[in-house]
Chains A and B, each alone.
Chain A
Amino acid sequence: MELTLNTHEAFTAKDLVTSQDVRWCPGCGDYSILKQVQTVLPELNIPRENIVFISGIGCSSRFPYYMETYGMHSIHGRATAVASGLKATRPELSVWIITGDGDSLSIGGNHFIHLLRRNFDVNILLFNNQIYGLTKGQYSPTSEIGKITKSTPMGTIDHPFNPLALCLGADATFIARCMDRDPVHMREILKRGNAHKGTSLIEIYQNCNVFNDGAFELFTEKATKKLETIFVEHGKPLVFGKDSEFGIVLNGDTPCVVNLAEVNTNDLWIHDETNRNKANILVRFFDDEVNQTNLPRPFGVFYTQNRPCYEDQLTIQHAQALELKGTGNLDELLRGKNTWTIE
C-alpha cells in the first residue's frame, strides 16, 4: 500500500486500452473523452496501479471497462459513494469518478452533493448529454424545458438543473466545463482538475448522436462556436467573438455583452477563479430567464477554492487519537472499566 512517487514504470495511452470492445454508438461523444483521458493520464506522473476509475450506470459509466487501470462499474448513482469509501481509506490513490447527468444529478443526486461538500480529493467527470441514452431516450434532469422525448411526447415540464450552479451551491472546490469536440481544451481542464487538491468537478458537454444529436451544436460547430462560447482564463478579461471583438462587463451584478470598439479592455470583467460571487454569475450565464441577454456559454475553470479534504481530516483525527491515547490495547478494551472475578 505504499506510495511510489516518481519511481514507477512509465506507460502510454496505448497501455491504457483494454481488451474489451468499446460498445458506444459510432459517433458518440464518449469516444473523444476516453481518448483525451487516455492521452492525459500518462503525463500526470501517477503510477498506473494507483489509478482507479469508478462509475455508476449509464452509457458513460461503461468507461472503466475501457481503461487498463483499476476500475469498478458500480450501481446507478452510487459511484460517488463507493469512491468516498475508497478515498477515505486509501488517500494515496488517484480516484476518477465517471458519471452522467442522470447518474449524478437524478438517481445519485444525494451522494453527489455530499461528496462535494466533504471535498474528497477525487476527480468527477460528469458527461452531460441532456438525455437518458442507455434506457433509450427519456429526458434527463438537464434536458431543456419543452423537450420532446419518448417519455414526454408533449414536451417536458421539468425545470432543468444547472449542474454547475448546483455544485457551487454544494460548496464544490473546483468547477469547470469543457466539451467533447474541443480535445485540446479538455486535456488542459483534465490536467487542471487532477492538479486540484479536493473534489474537481468537470462538466463535459457530450453529444449523444442517437437520442439528442446536436444538443450542443451551437457551441461545438465552427460556424457558431466563436460567437456562442467564451473560454475563461484566470486573470484574463472575458473576451469572445470571431475576432475577439466582444467582451463582458458587469453592470452591478448583471453581465452585459459589449463591443470592444466601444469599451476599453480595462473595464471588462477580469476572470478570477477564486471569486465566488462572480462564479455564481458565471455558472448562470445560460439559464437566467429574467436577464436573458444572449450571453455566450462559458468554458474553462469557473471556480477554485482551497479547503481541507475529508480524508486528510480523518487521518489527522486518527493520528491525534493515537497520540492522546496510545495504540489501542484490545485486551484492555475487552476488559472495560468494571470487572469481577468468580473463583
Chain B
Amino acid sequence: MSAPLIEQKKTVTIRFAGDSGDGIQLTGTQFTNTAASLGNDLSTFPNFPAEIRAPQGTQAGVSGFQIKFGSVEIFTPGDECEVLVVMNAAALKANIKELKPNGILIVNTDGFNARDLELAKIDKDSNPLTNGSLDGFKLYQIDVTKLTRTALENSGLGKKEIDMCKNMFVLGYVYWIYNRPLALTISALQEQFKKKPAIFEANVKVLKAGYAYGDTTETPMTRYEIAKANMPSGVYRNINGNPATALGLVAAAEVSKLPMFFATYPITPASDILHDLSKHKNFNVKTFQAEDEIAAICAAIGASFGGSLGVTSSSGPGIALKAEAIGLATMLELPLVIINVQRGGPSTGLPTKTEQADLMQAIYGRNGECPVPVVAACSPSDCFTMVYEACRIAVEHMTPVFFMSDGYIANGAEPWKFPQTKDLKPIEYRYAEAKEAREKYLPYVRNNKLARAWAIPGTKGLEHRIGGLEKENLTGDISYDPDNHQFMVKLRQERVDAIADFIPLQTIDQGNPEGDVLVIGWGSTYGSIRGAVTETLAEGINVAHAHIKYLNPLPKNLGDILKRYKKVIVPEINNGQLVRILRDKYLVDAKGINKIKGTAFTTQELVNAIKEASN
C-alpha cells in the first residue's frame, strides 16, 4: 500500500453530526482545542436540539458541531462544510444538504439499520448508503460501532459503556486525516475521567484505534495539512462567548475591587455564565440562583443598593419579565448589568437557535420613558471586552446597562489573545463618605457625569430613602409636581446621552473611509460581514464595514460616517431593528438585509447583498 498523499489546505470546514447522546459536542470541542493549539485560526458553531432527551435516532434529536479552521483569517464557522461525519441516518438526512459537492462524507454504517432508517423517516427500500444518492460525495463507510467494540473486547466494560466511546473512534480517524496530534485530547480525557480510570483508558484506546484505522486501512484518501495561521504574535487560548462573559465579569470585579453579586435564573442559552461563575468562589463574585427572573434582577438591585455590583443574566423571555425592575433601577440610579444572551423569539421561540431580535426590547422595552445604555459583543472573545465595558459604564454612571450577546457567539468559539490584568481599563467609583453631622442627606446630588453618589447602608449620616415613585431631584423626596416630572424625565435621558463622551468613537473595520456602500452591523453578524466585505473588496467593490458595539448611546461620530457613503445596508438576524434606529436618528436611507431563520448569515448571502447595493 502506498502512503497517502499529503495535501496542503488553507481552510477546512468539518461538521460532526449524530444523535444528541453520541458525544458530538465533546468531539467537536476536542477537535477545536487541538486545532487552536496548533495555531490555526478558527470559528465554531455548535447546534443542538432544544429537547434534552429528544427521541433517539430521530431528526429532532440530531446534534451538530461545525468548525472552520485554517492558516488564514477565519471569519465564520463556514457556510457549507467540506467534510461531514454522521453517526446515523437521521444525522445524514438533516445535514447532507450542507455538504459541498464532492465533499468527504464519513458514515457510521451501524447507524443505518432498518430501525435507524425508520426513525429517520427514510423508506427502507431507499437506504442512501446503497441507492446511489450519495454518488456525488467521497463516501467512506465505517462500522464504527463494531470497530469500537472490537477495540474494547477485553476491557471488561459493559456494552453501554463501550458504545459511549464511539465518538472517540471518529475523532481519532479525523485526526489522522488532518494529521493532528492526540496528546491534548488524551490529557483532556484524563482530566474528565479522573475518577474513572477504566473509562479513560477505554476512550484513549478507541481514539488511537480510530487513528490507526486511517493508518492501516487502504483508505485511498488524501491526508491534509493546515499550517499555522498568520495571527498577531502573542499568547492565545480558545474561548466561547459565555465563558468569556463570565471572565469579563470576574475581571470587572477584580479590577474595580467591587464585590459582584450575580443573580440569575437558568435559561437557554445563558445558563453557562452562571455555571462558570459559580466555580470561581475564590474571586470577588457571589452567585445566586433565584426563584425566578424577577427575583434575580431584584436581588441584584438589592445587592447594588448595598454597594456590590449587581448583575443579572437571561435570554429574551426572561428579560421581558425583568422589565419593571429595570425601570426601578433607572429610577433608583443604581449600577446594574443586565445580560441578554438572545435566542429566537417571540415567547419561548427557538431556545437553542440564535437571533438578534431583542435590540428594541433593550433600548425601549419598558413602561414610561426609561432610557438604558446598551452595549453588544461582536464575537465570542468580544463578550469579555463588552461585558467589562457594561460594568464600567454601570458603575461610573450609576445606571443599569444592557450587555447583548446571542446564542451564536455564546456557544461559538474562537482563538483569543487574552489580555493581562494590567492592560484592563480601570473602573472608577467611590462610595459616599460618612458624615458626623446629622443633617438631611441629599442622595441625588450629581457629578459631571450626572451620576449621583453611591451612598450605601452602613454609612453613618447618609440615611436616605430611594424608590420607584417619581422623585424630586437632589432630595429624592416623592414628588408629583408636573414640572418636576418633565425635568426628571429629561434628566434621565441626558444621563444616558452623556455617556457618549465616555465611549470610543465609531471606527471603520475595513474598507474606504468614504465610498459606495457602507455595511453596518451589530452583534454576532461581525464575522459574516467581515468575510463578505473582505471578499467584495478583493473584487474591487467600493465597500466598507462599520460594526457598532455601543448601541445606546450611539458613538458621537456615527452620523458623520453614515453621510460619507452613497448607500447604507444593515444586515441583521431579525426583521429590521438597528436599521430603524439609524433611520430614525440620522434620517438616512439605510436598507435592512434580514434573515430570521435561527442561523447566521452565510458569507455568500452578504456578498450578494453588497453587490446588489453597489450596482
Contact = CB atoms under 8 A, between A and B. Distances in A.
Interface stretch (B134-142, B217-225, B285-293, B553-561): B285-293
Given A73-B469, A89-B286, A78 B325 contact: yes
18 contacts: A19-B440, A48-B463, A49-B434, A49-B459, A65-B465, A68-B463, A85-B298, A86-B457, A89-B307, A111-B291, A320-B281, A322-B281, A328-B283, A333-B247, A333-B250, A334-B418, A338-B33, A338-B36
Contacts of B263: 85
Nearest to A311: B286
Interface residues of A, number: 64
B440 to A, nearest CB: 7
Contacts of A64: 465, 467
A75 B247 CA distance: 32
Interface in B414-464: 418-421, 434, 438, 440, 456-464
B39 interface: yes
Contacts of B255: 330
Nearest to A3: B458
Contacts of B298: 74-75, 78, 81-82, 84-85, 111
A86 B332 CA distance: 15
B185 to A, nearest CB: 11
A110 interface: yes
B332 A81 contact: no
Which residue among B302, B461, B477 has the maximum number of chain A CB atoms within 10 Å of its CB? Answer: B302
Given A75-B328, A334-B251, A338-B238, A86 B233 contact: no
Interface string B253-284: 01100010101000000000000000011111
Contacts of A325: 282
B457 A50 contact: yes
Which residue among A47, A64, A340 has the maximum number of chain B CB atoms within 10 Å of its CB? Answer: A340
A93 interface: yes
Interface string B463-500: 11111110000000110000000000000000000000
Interface in B289-305: 290-292, 294-296, 298-305
B237 interface: yes
A78 B238 contact: no
B250 A339 contact: no
A266 interface: no
A75 B331 CA distance: 11
A340 B303 contact: no
B303 A89 contact: yes
B468 A110 contact: no
B1 interface: no
A341 B234 contact: yes
Interface of B: 33, 36-39, 184, 228, 231-239, 247, 250-251, 254-255, 259, 261, 263, 280-284, 286, 288, 290-292, 294-296, 298-308, 310, 324-325, 327-328, 332, 418-421, 434, 438, 440, 456-469, 477-478
A145 interface: no
A18 B418 contact: no
Contacts of A89: 259, 261, 286, 302-303, 306-308
A82 B305 contact: yes
A197 B284 CA distance: 26
Contacts of A326: 282
Contacts of A336: 237-239, 418
Contacts of B184: 338
Contacts of B38: 340
A71 B465 contact: yes
B467 A74 contact: yes
B597 to A, nearest CB: 33
A265 B594 CA distance: 82
Interface in A316-330: 317-318, 320-322, 324-328, 330
Contacts of B247: 333-334
B458 A49 contact: yes
A299 to B, nearest CB: 30
Which residue among A18, A330, A333, A334 has the maximum number of chain B CB atoms within 10 Å of its CB? Answer: A334
A81 B469 contact: no
Contacts of A18: 465
Contact of B457 (A52, A67, A84): A52
B250 A88 contact: no
A56 to B, nearest CB: 10
A151 B556 CA distance: 52
A129 to B, nearest CB: 21
Contacts of B254: 328, 330
Given A85-B261, A334-B418, A70 B301 contact: no
Interface in A52-95: 52, 54, 57, 64-65, 67-75, 78, 81-90, 92-93
A88 B282 contact: no
A339 B235 contact: yes
A331 B299 CA distance: 29
Contacts of A19: 440, 477
A54 B104 CA distance: 64
B464 A70 contact: yes
A8 to B, nearest CB: 8
A342 B39 CA distance: 7
B236 A114 contact: no
A6 to B, nearest CB: 15
Given A88-B288, A93-B306, A314-B286, A340 B236 contact: yes
Contacts of B300: 85
Nearest to A328: B283
Contacts of A335: 235, 237, 418
A264 interface: no
A1 interface: yes
Which residue among A72, A111, A328 has the maximum number of chain B CB atoms within 10 Å of its CB? Answer: A72
A166 to B, nearest CB: 15
Contacts of B237: 335-336, 338-340
Which residue among B233, B234, B288, B458 has the maximum number of chain A CB atoms within 10 Å of its CB? Answer: B458
A20 interface: yes
A50 B325 contact: no
A81 B299 contact: yes
A54 B457 CA distance: 12
A74 B228 CA distance: 56
Contact of B462 (A49, A82, A92): A49
Nearest to A2: B458
Contact of B280 (A72, A92, A333, A339): A333
Q: Which 7 A-B pairs have the closest CB atoms?
A: A73-B467, A85-B302, A85-B299, A321-B281, A81-B298, A328-B283, A86-B302
